[in-house]
Structures are given as structure tokens and as C-alpha cells.
Amino acid sequence: MERLASHTVERNRAGRTARLFLLGDACFLVVVGVLSTLTMQLAHEWQWGFLLAFTGGMALAMIVQTLLALLVAPLLGSIESMVPSMLVAMVSPMSVCALHAIGCEPGTWVAGALGAAFGVGTLSFVMIYARASRRWTAIAFPGG
Amino acid sequence: MSRIWAWRAKFYDVCEGSQLRRGPHKAALFQEMSGRVLFEAVGTGVDIQHFPPGRDITAIDISDEMLRRARPRAERYRGRLELVRMDAQHLSFPDECFDTVVTACTMCSVPDPHRALREIHRVLRPGGQLLMFEHVRSRNRVLGLALDLMTIWTRWSGTEMNRDTLRNVQAAGFCITRVESVYLDIILSIRAEKMEKLRRPASARGKHGDVVRI
């Protein structure tokens, strides 16, 4: 009975910690999405020409993402912050480029909203893939 | 190689010291240490806090600077913990002298993981266990690509993000008994076993009476 109670307390604690990390991941990915996308938007607003804006904007967005990931690494973990934020900072700024390429120029707010949406989208992908990974390890190595 | 790690030792606790997320998983894995234990690449000793008390552990690292920083943590450990400077690819221990070998983010950092695993296989007794807390390349194409790209610039600091450690462990002759996902399929908690040497029954034995692995 005592063991069951301590197991339940432990599980509750683990659940609470997992929820806190999920919240941390969500905030971080949204911030990365918004800032990297706004960086690309800024590169287009500087009228460098499409190719230069694309390459320069991508390089700057990746620098922004790397700095942010290094900043939160002690709290969220180095790989746990670096890998998903890299996806956000690669895909989200490209969406702004794609809009510019088709002649639809998004404003700052739209670009920011796009970045936030990509951040949330990546978080959803990470959550789904985490479940799939747990299932894979359980099937491939049944001892787990 | 040791020069890179001497330099990285200065930032190691800040960049890699995140124990909030991985700590409980490491503690659960290290709980299974038994008998004489070899811990590879102890670094600045951030993992020592997760060692279960009362174990007999020899911890190695290639960098003197890392070991210097690990010493105060090792002194606080309630058990026997010896720090030794040694290359994981050239272990100077005799064959089959450890019951458990533990690695934590080691296989991403050794230049030749196959050689390091062969050395682990050599020093581990038959039936001994290999406990690994490692990050590997994701099976997902997009995440795998992200890890490949990251490796372009992490390689200069001695870390490869895209190694297929599960396959390497099997290729080195270990039997993987259990794998747990710590973060997606990138950070894994791996349990493996060095297979026992068994004598074949006389009828099935080769002409030299050789021993085989099961």
C-alpha cells in the first residue's frame, strides 16, 4: 500500500515536471519561430534583392536560433532545444520568402504570427514523434 | 583530442550540465550498476550525482582538465570512485575485468566508436552489462537531416550528432536487451549484455573444441 502511494506520488511529480518542460518547450519554440521569421522579414524589408535577402536572412535566422538555443540549453537541455528549434528556424523564415516570391508581402504582424504558428506546429510534431519513438523502442526492444 | 576537451571543460558544466531533464533518466539507468564498474568519459563529473551509493567505480576520461574538475565531485561520492586518465579507444585494463561498463554521451565524442566498443567488449566479463546514455541519429528523415547539418559545425568541437550507436553496439557483439526513449529517438537509454561464452555440447563442438557465443 505504502509502495503504491509512493509510486503514485513519484508519477505525479514526473507528470508535473513533464508538463513544465512542455510549457518551456512551447514558449521557446514560439520565441524562436517569431524571432527567426522576423529576421527574414527584416532582410526582405532592407531591399537587398530576393537572393541576397534569402541567403542573408537564413544565415541571420540560424544565428538567432543558435544563440537562443544556447541560452536555454542549461534549462531545457542542449539537444532538446537545438534540434526542434533548428527545424523552426529553417522552415519558418522560408515561408516568408515563399510569400515574397509569389508577390504577397506579409507585414511584421503576419510574419510574427507565421513564426508563432510554426513554433506550435513543430511542438505538435515533436509530441507526436515522441509518442511514436516510445512505441518504436517498446516494439523493437520488448524488454523496455 | 585531449586539447579540445581541455578547452571544452571550461564550458562543459554550463552547456552540458543540464540535469533537470535528463537527470532522472540517468539515475534510473545508473541504478543498475553492479559489481566492478567502468564509467567512460566522466567529464567534469556532472553525472556523479546520479551514481547509486556504495558502488566500486573506475571512471576514466581523456582530459586532465576534465578530471581535475571532476575530482571534488568524486570526493563527495559515497562509495569507491577512482578517476583515471585514459583513452576509451585504448583501455589499459586486462580482459574481462569489469562487471558493468557505463557510457554517457561518450560514443558521440570518441573518434572511432567501433574501436571504443570493441575495447568495452574486451574488458567486460561474459554476461556483464553495458549501460549507455547516448544521443544518436534520428530515424526520422527531417530530424536526421537536422542532426547531419548540426554535425557539420559540432564536429570541430569533437562531437558527432549523427552516429548509429545502436547498430554499432550490435556490431561489436553485444545483445541489446532494452532501449528507452529519453528524448524522441535521439537520446536513448540503452541496456546491452556481453553474451556468455558457452561450451558447445561435445557432439556439436568443432574439431578444436572451440567456444561459441550464443
For chain A, 144 residues long, give each residue's pLDDT as a single digit of tens.
566 666 676 677 777 888 899 999 999 999 999 999 999 999 988 887 888 989 999 999 999 999 999 999 888 988 999 999 999 999 999 999 999 888 888 889 999 999 999 999 999 999 999 999 999 998 888 765
pLDDT at B88 over 70: yes
The topology (CATH level 3) of B2-213 is Rossmann fold (3.40.50)
The residue among B116, B114, B102 whose CA lies nearest residue B43 is: B102
Q: Residue A129: its chain B contacts at CB < 8 A?
A: 140, 143, 184-185
Per the CB < 8 A criterion, the answer to whether B100 and B34 are in contact is: yes
**Domain segments of chain B: what residues?**
2-213
B16 interfacial to chain A (CB closer than 8 Å) = yes
The residue among B194, B188, B162 whose CA lies nearest residue B38 is: B194
The residue among B19, B105, B120, B117 whose CA lies nearest residue B66 is: B105
Locate cell 533548428: which residue? A86
**Whether B20 and A75 lie within 8 Å, measured CB to CB:** yes
pLDDT (0 to 100) of residue B15: 64
**Whether B185 and A21 lie within 8 Å, measured CB to CB:** no
A133 interfacial to chain B (CB closer than 8 Å) = yes
Q: Which of A75, A79, A86 sits opposite B135 (nearest CB)?
A: A79
- How far is it, in rounded angstroms, from Cα B26 to Cα B212? 34
The residue among B117, B94, B109 whose CA lies nearest residue B170 is: B117
**Domain segments of chain A: what residues?**
25-140
